Structure 1
Amino acid sequence: MQSKVKKINFNGQDIYVGIDVHLKNWVVTIIGSNIIYKTFSMDPEAKKLSNYLKNTFPNANYYSVYEAGFCGYSVHRDLSLNGIKNIIVNPADVPTTDKDKRQKEDRRDSRKLAKSLSSGELEGIHILGEQMEGLRSLVRYRSKVIGEIVKYKNRIKSILKQYGIKAPKELDKGSKYWSAKYIKWLKTIKTLTPEGTFVLEETIGTLEQHRKQRLKINKELRRLSTEPKYKKVINLLISVPGIGMITAFVILSEIETITRFKNLDKLCSYVGLIPTTNSSGEKERSGKITRRSNKLLRKCIIESAWVAIRQDPALLQKYGELKKRMKPNMAIIRIAKKLLNRIRYVLKNEQEYEKSIV
C-alpha cells in the first residue's frame, strides 16, 4: 500500500522577506509566523527568490523590503513582476539599536529589515514611474553639473589669489557673472611659472566643458517643456511667482504627483521646511529647521521664495511683517512654506496662480 505525501499549503499566510541588496549578491532573511525561518546569501535575481518562496511556501502571500540605494527602483520592479509585494524604505526610517550601529553586517541588516516589516513598523517610499524616474535622473544630473561649475570657479579664484592676480576694473561685473569677456581675459593670464599656467588653463578648460553640459541640458529641458506629457504641469508651475522652468522641472520630478501628500504639513515635511521638535512632559520646544529633507527641492523652493517676494506684492508684504520679529533667513522659510502652499494649490486644482490671492 502506497503512502500519500501530504503537500504543505501556506494558503493565506504571510511570509516576510528582508533583503540586504548588493551588486553581486543579496542577503535574505525570511520570517513566517513570527519565526525567523532562514538567513542566506543568493544571486541578485528576483526570479530565483520568487521560485524559492513559491516552492518552500506555496500559495502564501509574499512581502519584501530593501533599503533605498544604488539599485534605485529596478529591483522593486523585478520583485513585483515576480509576485512579491515589495516596498523600499529610507534607511533612516528602519528601527536600529545602538548594537546594530556598532556591529553593522549584512546578515544583521537583513534580519532587522525582515523583523521590522513583519511587525508593521516600516512605511515605503513613493515609487516613481519609469518615465518620471528618467526625468529625475536628468534634473539631478544638471544639479551635479552645476556643483562642478561652482567647484571649478572656486579653483580658478584660488589660483588667481595664489599668484596675486586681479581682474581689470572694467571686468568687475563680468567676474561676478563669469561673462564671455571675463573668460577670454582669464585665458590671457600667464602666471610666474609654466606649471602654474598649465594648471590654470586646464581648470578653465574643464569649467567650459561643464558650462557646455549645462547649456545642453537646459536645451533638452526646454524641449521637454513643450511636450504634451509635461507642458500642462510646467505651465501651471511657472504661473507661480518665483518659479522658473528649471525649478518647475525640479518640483515635478521630485514630487511627481501632489495627491500623495494628504496635507500641506506632509508636503512641508518631505521638502524639509519644518523645525526640529523636542517634546518632554508638558514642555515642547521647536528648534532649527530639520536636517532631514529633499535637499535639491528645499534649496530650489527657498531660492524661489527670495525671487517671489520681488514679484508678488502679497508675499512681499508678509515678508516685511515677518522680518520685524525674526531674522531674514527665518522669515524666508515662512515665505517658502506659503510658496509651497501655492504650488500645492495650482497642482491640486489644475488652475494657474493669481497674484491677487493672499
Structure 2
Amino acid sequence: MQANTTKAPAAIRVDLAAIFVSLELSRSKWLVTSLSPGGGERMSRHLVSGGDIPGLLDHFAELQRKVEVRTGQRFRVISIQEAGLDGFWIHRVLEREGIESYVVDPASIATSRRRRRAKTDRIDGEALVRALLAYNRGEPRVCAMLRVPTPEEEDRRRLVRERKALTNERIRHVNRIKGLLFSQGVSGYEPLKGDRRKCLDALITGDGRPLPPALMAQISRELDRIELLIQQIKDVEEARDALLVAADEPTPALLLSLKGIGPEFAAVLWSEG
C-alpha cells in the first residue's frame, strides 16, 4: 500500500501570488500552460501561433482578467521557457512588457529515474510550471535559470562561435580530400599548405597513374572551398583581435597578459565566461 501511494502526483500549492505560465515553443505553434490563483490545481492550456507576440500578450491579459473576476485581485504574470533555438528575443519582449520572465536550462529540470517518462508538450509544460513554482518558493537545486545576456553581449559571442564553425567546416573539407586520395593509394598530401595546387598536379596513384580528370576536378573544387574558408577565418580573427583591443573593460587585456593564453582563448573566456 505504501508503494502505491507514492505514485500519486504531488499536490500543487494553490495559495499563489501570481499567474505562473510556461511556454513550449516550436516553429508553428506555442503551447501556453498556466496555473492561476483561485483555479485550484487544474492547469489550463492554450495554443498560440508561433511568433504571434500580440496573441501571446492578449492571452496573458485574458488570464489576468479571468483571475480578477474570480478573486477580485489583479495578479502579475511569471513566465518560464526552455533555452533553445528561439534564443532570448521572446524573453526580452516579455520583460519589456512588464512580465517577469525566466529562461531555464532544460537539462537541469529533475525527472523521475524509476520509470520512463513520456515526452509530450503537455507534460513538459506542466513540468515547467512545477519547476517555476518550486523556484519561486526558494527551493534549492530545483533547476538552473540562465543569466540572459544583453544584445551586445550576445552579439560579441558571434565572432568566436563563427570561427569555430568555419574551422570545423575546413576540417571536413580537408578530410574529404584526404579520403578521396587515399582511395587511390595516395597519402601524405596536405591541403592546407601554400603549394597545395602544385603538389596536387604532381600526385600519382598507387598503381602509377596520374589522378583521373573527374577526381582532379572534384579535389580542385574542394580546394576552392578551403581557400575561401582560410580567408574567412583570417577575416574573423582580425575582427576578433580588434574587438579585444577596443574593449571598454580591462578583462581582455588582463587575459592576454597571462602566459599561455592567446587571443582565441581570451576571447572565449571573455565572451562566453
TM-score, structure 2 normalization: 0.77
**Residue among 207, 215, 220 paired with 1:201:** 220
Tell me the equivalent position of 1:248: 266
Tell me the equivalent position of 2:195: 181
Where in structure 2 are the equivalents of 1:18-167 lying within 5 Å? Answer: 18-33=22-37, 35-43=41-49, 44=51, 45=53, 46-58=56-68, 59-97=74-112, 102-120=117-135, 121-167=142-188
Q: For the residues of structure 1 that align with 2:114 and 2:121, how far apart are their CA atoms?
A: 14
| One-letter amino acid of the structure 1 residue matched with residue 86 of structure 2 | C
CA shift, 1:183, in A, is 4.9
Q: For the residues of structure 2 that align with 1:182 and 1:149, how far apart are their CA atoms?
A: 15
Where in structure 2 are the equivalents of 1:231-310 lying within 5 Å? Answer: 232-255=250-273
CA shift, 1:49, in A, is 4.0
Q: For the residues of structure 2 that align with 1:94 and 1:85, how far apart are their CA atoms?
A: 20
Q: For the residues of structure 1 that align with 2:188 and 2:144, how far apart are their CA atoms?
A: 55
Q: For the residues of structure 2 that align with 1:101 and 1:251, how far apart are their CA atoms?
A: 38
Structure 2 SS opposite 1:156 = helix
Structure 1 pair 156–143 and aligned structure 2 pair: CA distance change class (3 A) = same
CA shift, 1:119, in A, is 2.2
CA deviation digits over 1:327-347, x for unaligned, max 9?
Answer: xxxxxxxxxxxxxxxxxxxxx
Q: For the residues of structure 2 that align with 1:166 and 1:37, how far apart are their CA atoms?
A: 64
Give the conservation status (yes or no) of the 8 Å contact 1:29–1:36. no
Structure 2 SS opposite 1:124 = coil
Structure 1 pair 187–135 and aligned structure 2 pair: CA distance change class (3 A) = farther
Aligned length: 236
CA shift, 1:241, in A, is 1.5
Q: For the residues of structure 1 that align with 2:158 and 2:67, how far apart are their CA atoms?
A: 38
| One-letter amino acid of the structure 1 residue matched with residue 239 of structure 2 | E
Structure 2 SS opposite 1:26 = strand
CA deviation digits over 1:276-333, x for unaligned, max 9?
Answer: xxxxxxxxxxxxxxxxxxxxxxxxxxxxxxxxxxxxxxxxxxxxxxxxxxxxxxxxxx
CA shift, 1:102, in A, is 5.0
TM-score, structure 1 normalization: 0.60
| One-letter amino acid of the structure 2 residue matched with residue 115 of structure 1 | R
CA deviation digits over 1:76-130, x for unaligned, max 9?
Answer: 1011112211111111112223699653121221111112211223331111111
Give the conservation status (yes or no) of the 8 Å contact 1:50–1:84. no
| One-letter amino acid of the structure 2 residue matched with residue 237 of structure 1 | L
Q: For the residues of structure 2 that align with 1:41 and 1:135, how far apart are their CA atoms?
A: 35
Structure 1 pair 220–106 and aligned structure 2 pair: CA distance change class (3 A) = same
Tell me the equivalent position of 2:12: none
RMSD (Å) for aligned C-alpha atoms: 2.5
Structure 1 SS opposite 2:237 = helix
Structure 1 pair 250–155 and aligned structure 2 pair: CA distance change class (3 A) = same
| One-letter amino acid of the structure 2 residue matched with residue 47 of structure 1 | L
Structure 1 pair 40–201 and aligned structure 2 pair: CA distance change class (3 A) = same
CA shift, 1:250, in A, is 0.8
CA deviation digits over 1:47-73, x for unaligned, max 9?
Answer: 334433433335313211111100111
CA deviation digits over 1:229-252, x for unaligned, max 9?
Answer: 35x321111111111111111111
Q: For the residues of structure 2 that align with 1:89 and 1:215, how far apart are their CA atoms?
A: 36
Give the conservation status (yes or no) of the 8 Å contact 1:30–1:38. yes
Structure 1 SS opposite 2:158 = helix
Q: Taking every aligned residue pair, what percent have the same amino acid on both sides?
A: 24
CA shift, 1:189, in A, is 4.8
Structure with higher helix content: 1
Structure 1 pair 54–137 and aligned structure 2 pair: CA distance change class (3 A) = farther
